[in-house]
Amino acid sequence: MLVTSYELLRDAQKNHYAVGAFNVENMEMAIAVLNAAEETKSPVIMQTTPGTIRYAGADMYFANIRAAAQRTSLPVVCHLDHGDSFAAAVHAFRVGYTSIMIDGSKLPFNENIALTKSVADVCHAGNVPVEAELGRVGGKEDDLDNRGTDNPYTDPKEAEEFVARTGCDSLAVGIGTAHGVYKGIPHLNFDVLRKIHELVSIPLVLHGTSGVPDEQVTEAMKLGICKVNYATDLRIAFTRGVKEYMKEKPEGFDPKKYGAYGMKEVKAYVAQKMQMLKG
C-alpha cells in the first residue's frame, strides 16, 4: 500500500530500526525492491532523483512505484530524493509522490532555511512530509556533485535551529558519507551524529550509504538514523546481472531475459540490507 514516510519514520525512531530507501531507475528495479520487501516483510521507500526523473518523467516513475505498492499490504513510500529546486519538489508533490526531499545544502544557511520552509509549507498542506539536508554528503552521483566540499559535517547547533525554523519532518546529515563509489573504507563521524541526535528530535537520514560497512550503519541507527539511502550499489548490482547474462549468451537480445538477471542481483542486495536495517 502506498503511504507517506511520516508514520514510517516515526515508528522506526520509536522502535530503534531504520527504513531502507532504494533508488529505482527502471521497472525491473522497482519489482526487485518490492520482491525483497515481500521476502523480508519490510516497509520500503522507493525513490528517484531529479536526474532520473528527467530521463523518463516523474509520472512514469510514480506509476511504477504505485503499481508496486498496490501489489502488497506492506507500506511503500514514493520519495523524491535530492529535489534540487522548489519547482522540482512541487512537481513531484503534484504528481503524487508521498514524500519529498528538498536539498538546499549547497546554499547559505538562511537561504537553505527559506527554500526548505517554502517546500514544507506547500507539502504539509497536502499532508506530505518533507526531508531536508544540512551539511554536505560528498561525492558525485547522477546529477548531484558535491566533490570538493570543504566541511562535510553538519553543525549540531545549526541543525537544531534549522529544524525549528523550517518545520521539516526528517533531516539528512553529513557525517562523512559520500555519493558514488568509495575509493577506500568510509569512516562515519559518530561524535557529530551523537551531538545532532541530542539536539534534534526528528528522524535523521543517512545518505551515500552504498559501500558503508553494515556495522557502521547499525551503529548510526543507535544514534538516531531512521532512514538509510542506497543508490550506487543497486546500479552496480543490476548492471552486474546484465553483464553476466550477456557473457553467458552474447547473442541475446531480449530485454526480459537480461532484465531478469539484473532483478535477481538487485533483489539479493536489497533483501540483505533490509534484514540488517531491522536492527
CA distances from 90 to 85, 113, 117, 120, 143 (A): 9, 17, 13, 10, 19
pLDDT value of residue 100:
98
In the structure, what pLDDT confidence band is assigned to residue 180 with cuts at 50, 70 and 90?
low
Mean pLDDT of the chain: 93
**Helical spans, DSSP H, in the chain:** 5-15, 27-40, 50-56, 58-70, 86-95, 109-125, 156-166, 190-199, 214-221, 232-248, 255-277
pLDDT value of residue 240:
98
pLDDT value of residue 210:
87
pLDDT value of residue 279:
83
Model confidence pLDDT, tens digit, residues 190-232: 999 999 999 999 999 999 998 899 999 999 999 999 999 999 9
* Cell of residue 7, nine digits: 508514520
pLDDT value of residue 181:
57
Model confidence pLDDT, tens digit, residues 257-269: 999 999 999 999 9
Judge whether residue 149 has pLDDT over 60.
Answer: no
Active-site residue, 169 included: no
Mean predicted confidence (pLDDT) in 230-243: 97
Model confidence pLDDT, tens digit, residues 72-98: 999 999 999 999 999 999 999 999 999
Mean predicted confidence (pLDDT) in 247-256: 97
Backbone angles phi, psi at 175, to 5 degrees: -130, 20
DSSP 2: B
Report pTM: 0.92
CA distances from 123 to 4, 75, 103, 207 (A): 11, 20, 15, 22
What is the rounded distance in angstroms from the CA atom of residue 91 to the CA atom of residue 234? 26
In the structure, what pLDDT confidence band is assigned to residue 177 with cuts at 50, 70 and 90?
confident
In the structure, what pLDDT confidence band is assigned to residue 142 with cuts at 50, 70 and 90?
low
What is the rounded distance in angstroms from the CA atom of residue 248 to the CA atom of residue 51? 32
Judge whether residue 161 has pLDDT over 90.
Answer: yes
For residue 173, the surrounding DSSP H or E stretch is strand 170-173
Mean predicted confidence (pLDDT) in 245-273: 98
pLDDT value of residue 143:
55
Judge whether residue 179 has pLDDT over 70.
Answer: no
Judge whether residue 235 has pLDDT over 80.
Answer: yes
Mean predicted confidence (pLDDT) in 16-36: 98
- Percentage of the chain modeled with pLDDT above 70: 92
Catalytic residue among 11, 59, 81, 214: 81
Model confidence pLDDT, tens digit, residues 51-72: 999 999 999 999 999 999 999 9
pLDDT value of residue 145:
47
Mean predicted confidence (pLDDT) in 145-152: 54
pLDDT value of residue 187:
80
In the structure, what pLDDT confidence band is assigned to residue 183 with cuts at 50, 70 and 90?
low
